[in-house]
A and B are shown apart, each in its own frame.
Chain A
């Protein structure tokens, strides 16, 4: 996975391997910005598969997750049919594959090429959608009353991500492997920052990672994540700062900390002058 620009630690690598070997979905949890979605994309790149993504949000329903009938086209078909055609025939006709709109879940199941299905931010959905996912994730099949049951020819690798804003049901968790992604240790973070932001001086990267590490030790409302370290590195390059002095840290702190009380606290604890 290192080749495709994702530096995974041992547990991430092992869990991903198990997901492939056991053909089970992986549930990835962790704070925002530690690379949960990026993991799915990296798996896609590493296996040469294609990514099918289902972004979850409140109010997501079957029609937008699984499949829908293209009723406008069906109406056209009925109107276009000449009067001589029997109703039975029309009926069979309009419920065929031609009028089926597949949504991400069904698309992923029906594909015969290698697929990675990313179900992003599962915790944002309503509880009913979880019930829907159960059938899809355990048997990889979808039942459409008019067409019958569709079973996958080739099981997609499923990655679910969650920010843990809500407790997912035990039934869903039971079917998944679980991976908790956390902030990486200093060395790995430095590697990640350097690989994401080429052109960053090694010394600055080291300073940056150590400051971020200290910020995470403080009790902040939102600890800086990897995404923020990378943003910070980009900022430093843009501002052509080659030495991360206390003043430079104080000036650019807004990039990593997103609450004013957090900034105040950091300035106080790190003894920065503003």
Chain B
């Protein structure tokens, strides 16, 4: 395979992962590479990044793909040649218990010294020794980072490292923090190395499709891991700020209303009665009052809390916001959002408050809607928009369609956001179509869709 083929394939993979790489950007990359040459891998990577990646959030995807298409080394690389390993020389199996203890001690040293280059080599060695899964049929992956990391037992490693750091004069808390971070990074290296080896055997296209995670904006709320949730939470404020800027700009662009005849005539006095300058009536800003009902059961709750945080971060754009959470009880949570409050605290309090909305613990949309009509019907008025967040899975209970219709009629607009993929609607106990016939239901699975929706709402 020529270098050009590899380049084209790499671009194809980037496009496949959702990066808009144009033809001219590809040409730029080639020109840039012509200038800097192929001697230094980091430089090649940076040159590609500068010419192809135009959004910071896509950098992680790019990094992952680059590792697959331009791997650091082939096979086990130089380590096998230069470090035959004392264990094998002594006739011990390369992944036996003695080799393991010898390897762990070397690894601990490297971790303590925080030697990145050494760690990278050790990660490769770890996969080669402990991550191999021989004897599986062709086409199945024969390397596993999971096996390697389990053999090495990361918890033990962390404990050892923390102890070592404490002896080195670090405070307990600092040692624990740094230790955990270093071991995490090493696990990352091992995973990357296993991916590289699999890609080598099966070709990078295969692995690129599954191993590279989507960018944070395209990530499904329902499939978010815990670390993803944190990343998502970090995105809320920047996103809210971006949205607010966009809204203000668009608002300014539409500021001019109808021609104000009286003021136009008045100003025409200065030009001898010729109306040179037209004067316009200022447009009255109307602000939406928002009433939000969130299903906070199980996995949907992530989606609901994110939407709530985003809406409250954009509070200035709305007239008034009231929020309710429900599982089978309804509970008002507006008071948890204080202006300028800390995001993490609010989130924790919200999670705690969930128990107020659950009585039996099984989602019951019908009951929630009827209770809302009973207790909070005054929240809805001709100025308010109703927003319901949830997957419309009501455990086959009474749907209280009439209550929902009454709520929709009482408010000016009504929207329903469903975090599930549209193809899963109406499967099992999902009542998407029946509720959707009363209130228009929209699919909202990731940050991009969510921010578009919130933007249209304000």
Using a CB–CB cutoff of 8 Å, the interface residues on chain A facing chain B are: 10-11, 14-15, 17-18, 21-22, 24, 27, 29-30, 58, 123, 126, 164-167, 170, 173-174, 176-180, 182, 219, 221, 259-262, 264-265
Contact = CB atoms under 8 A, between A and B. Distances in A.
Contacts of B20: 170
A180 B344 contact: no
B245 A15 contact: no
B202 to A, nearest CB: 31
B439 to A, nearest CB: 30
A148 B46 CA distance: 40
B340 A179 contact: no
A175 to B, nearest CB: 8
A21 B35 contact: yes
B47 A14 contact: yes
Contact of A177 (B35, B50, B241): B50
A165 B234 contact: no
Nearest to B230: A219
A76 to B, nearest CB: 21
Interface of B: 20, 22, 24-25, 28, 31-32, 35-36, 42-43, 46-47, 49-51, 53-56, 59, 230, 233-234, 237-238, 241-242, 245-246, 249, 252-253, 340-345
Nearest to B59: A180
Given A11-B46, A166-B245, A260-B340, 17 more contacts: A11-B50, A14-B46, A22-B31, A22-B32, A123-B245, A126-B253, A165-B241, A165-B245, A166-B242, A173-B55, A174-B54, A176-B54, A219-B230, A219-B233, A262-B342, A265-B344, A265-B345
**SS of B interface (majority):** helix
A165 B242 contact: yes
A24 B28 contact: yes
Contact of B49 (A11, A123, A173): A11
A30 B328 CA distance: 44
A220 to B, nearest CB: 9
19 contacts: A17-B36, A21-B32, A22-B28, A22-B31, A29-B56, A30-B56, A58-B249, A58-B252, A166-B249, A170-B20, A173-B55, A174-B22, A174-B54, A177-B50, A180-B56, A182-B56, A221-B237, A264-B342, A265-B342
B342 A174 contact: no
B241 A14 contact: no
Contacts of A126: 249, 253
Contacts of A177: 28, 50-51
A188 B270 CA distance: 63
Nearest to A259: B340
Given A58-B249, A178-B53, A261 B32 contact: no
Contacts of A10: 42-43, 46
A21 B377 CA distance: 67
Contacts of B238: 164
**For the complex of A and B, 6 pairs with smallest distance between CB atoms:** A173-B54, A261-B342, A180-B56, A15-B50, A11-B46, A177-B50
Nearest to B42: A10
A177 B49 CA distance: 9
Nearest to B242: A165
B242 A164 contact: yes
Contacts of B24: 174
Nearest to B253: A126
Nearest to A172: B54
Contacts of A166: 242, 245-246, 249
Contacts of A30: 56
Contacts of A219: 230, 233-234, 343-344
